[in-house]
Structure 1
Amino acid sequence: MISFASELWLINGPTVTGAAGFRFPTRMAVIRLPDNGGLWIWSPVALTPDVRAAVDALGSVRHLIAPNSLHYTFLAEWAAAYPDARIHAAPSLDAKVAGTKIHSTISIEPDPDWAGAIDLVIVRGNRITTEVVFFHRESATALLTDLVQQIPLGWYRGWRAVVARLDLMTAPVPSVPRKCRIATTDRVAARDSIRRVLQWPARRLVMAHGTPIQSGGQEALRQAFAWLKP
């Protein structure tokens, strides 16, 4: 567990394998809500004994977040381990796919338990997935899963390295992969969503698939989404 910012911790998980054998690094965020509101877990990784011990030392797990339809691999095991936690899923993920009950489909208004501490924007208009982007106010941290990535150069080998480079998965700066750009069929909806994301005073940026950054988060997001400008 890494203490990343005020009331926000990061835990790196195991690699997962996606389509065509592409491996992805994984990362989750733990936010401690104010006023003894418990822990808010974003994009949970594998629940090992060490991970559970580190999380339990911070407080009670109250909320488990699946931020898009691709980040649910470990959700069911967390739900089983923390039966009192509420599970919140992006609009594109249902219980049958997730393998566990979903208590709340994330809407444009944050859950009352974390409204005021964590803001959100549902990024629509993409055929791959509908992703929910979050902003932790206290630490000025934006959280993104697949929309923005920066997988380390050298992570892939052979033809996968070539594809990853062309797709901008391993670009020198945080970037929206080309496949996500191509899959954005409703640019008006996507542009409206990102406009609201860029209004956040984000100093920090956490990506599920990329090295977190401690400063310049808003500028990094502006650069990543510059392709969406009219």
Structure 2
Amino acid sequence: MLEEFGAEIWTAAGSDVTAALGFHYPTRMAVIRLTNGDLFIWSPIALTDRLREEVDSLGRVRHLVAPNSLHHLFIGDWKRAYPDAYLYAAPGLREKRRDIDFDHDLANAPPPLWLGQIDQALIPGNVITTEIVFFHAKSGSVLFTDLLQQLPPNWFSGWRAVIAKWDLMVASEPSVPRKFRLAFTDRNAARAAIRQVLSWPAEKVLMAHGAPVSEGAGALLRRAFRWLNID
């Protein structure tokens, strides 16, 4: 289930999840092993016995990260499985999931426990969700949750396929869906945050909803955010 994506980073695809209006999405998580052997779990998918066994073989699960307020379905299960792990909430998630006792809130700067190994940028001003984009320096991987997506062209059918095409969810390369573009209320703040993302020496891109990208990451990201008119 776990596939090595680069130095000290693995990815796993999970079962589909259904969102509003019956739209279903594939899921993907990432596991990053820090220099002290602790594991950073990004956007955890449904926890199975097999996945838990493979994760445990890599190290100690220490950080459970919900990178935006939409990716929280399985975070409680992981916390119950790993009660000693720290639980991190993206902005807005504490209010949405009052049944979960989060340990820390994600911000624009990385906490000391992964400082220098994983960088992060808070992308503000979106009414749908505030996403934290991460960069794993050792593998050169940028991790996007919902702000960058690419589903197979035949993933949806009927009227959902029409909407998905308009929304750029099934574009020819990973793109920022139109609904997220329209949901930015402060594009100047978004530009500043994306400039930080574009400054990273990206080699690869991981998306929760899309196949991983292993080459041409920097140029891809510049094309994906061209609509923001970043200098």
Give the TM-score of the pair, scaled to structure 2. Answer: 0.97
Is the CA contact (8 Å cut-off) linking 1:73 and 1:98 kept in structure 2? no
Is the CA contact (8 Å cut-off) linking 1:76 and 1:98 kept in structure 2? no
Give 1:119's aligned residue.
119
Taking structure 1 as reference, are residues 12 and 99 closer, same or farther at Cα in structure 2, changes over 3 Å only? farther
Give runs of aligned pairs for residues 22-33 of structure 1, distance below 5 A.
Answer: 22-33=23-34
Is the CA contact (8 Å cut-off) linking 1:2 and 1:11 kept in structure 2? yes
Give runs of aligned pairs for residues 1-230 of structure 1, distance below 5 A.
Answer: 1-36=2-37, 38-94=38-94, 97=97, 99-229=99-229
Deviations 1:141-185 (A, max 9, x none): 000000000011111111111110110000001100000011011
SS at match of 1:40: strand
AA aligned to 1:97 is: R
Deviation at 1:99, TM superposition (A): 3.3
Separation of aligned partners in 1, 2:94 and 2:36:
31
Deviation at 1:8, TM superposition (A): 0.4
Taking structure 1 as reference, are residues 98 and 40 closer, same or farther at Cα in structure 2, changes over 3 Å only? farther
Separation of aligned partners in 1, 2:159 and 2:202:
35
Taking structure 1 as reference, are residues 59 and 98 closer, same or farther at Cα in structure 2, changes over 3 Å only? farther
SS at match of 1:198: helix
AA aligned to 2:120 is: L
Deviations 1:44-83 (A, max 9, x none): 0000101101101111100000000000000000000000
Is the CA contact (8 Å cut-off) linking 1:79 and 1:100 kept in structure 2? no
AA aligned to 2:182 is: I
Separation of aligned partners in 1, 2:89 and 2:166:
31
Separation of aligned partners in 1, 2:127 and 2:218:
25
Separation of aligned partners in 1, 2:148 and 2:134:
13
Deviation at 1:96, TM superposition (A): 5.1
Separation of aligned partners in 2, 1:54 and 1:61:
11
Separation of aligned partners in 2, 1:51 and 1:136:
22
Is the CA contact (8 Å cut-off) linking 1:69 and 1:130 kept in structure 2? yes
Separation of aligned partners in 1, 2:193 and 2:108:
11
Taking structure 1 as reference, are residues 217 and 113 closer, same or farther at Cα in structure 2, changes over 3 Å only? same
Separation of aligned partners in 2, 1:51 and 1:25:
17
Is the CA contact (8 Å cut-off) linking 1:133 and 1:144 kept in structure 2? yes
SS at match of 1:159: helix
Deviation at 1:219, TM superposition (A): 1.1
Unaligned runs of 5+ residues in structure 2 are none
Separation of aligned partners in 1, 2:179 and 2:89:
23
Is the CA contact (8 Å cut-off) linking 2:135 and 2:141 kept in structure 1? yes
Is the CA contact (8 Å cut-off) linking 1:72 and 1:98 kept in structure 2? no
SS at match of 1:24: strand
Is the CA contact (8 Å cut-off) linking 2:33 and 2:58 kept in structure 1? yes
Give the TM-score of the pair, scaled to structure 1. Answer: 0.97
Unaligned runs of 5+ residues in structure 1 are none
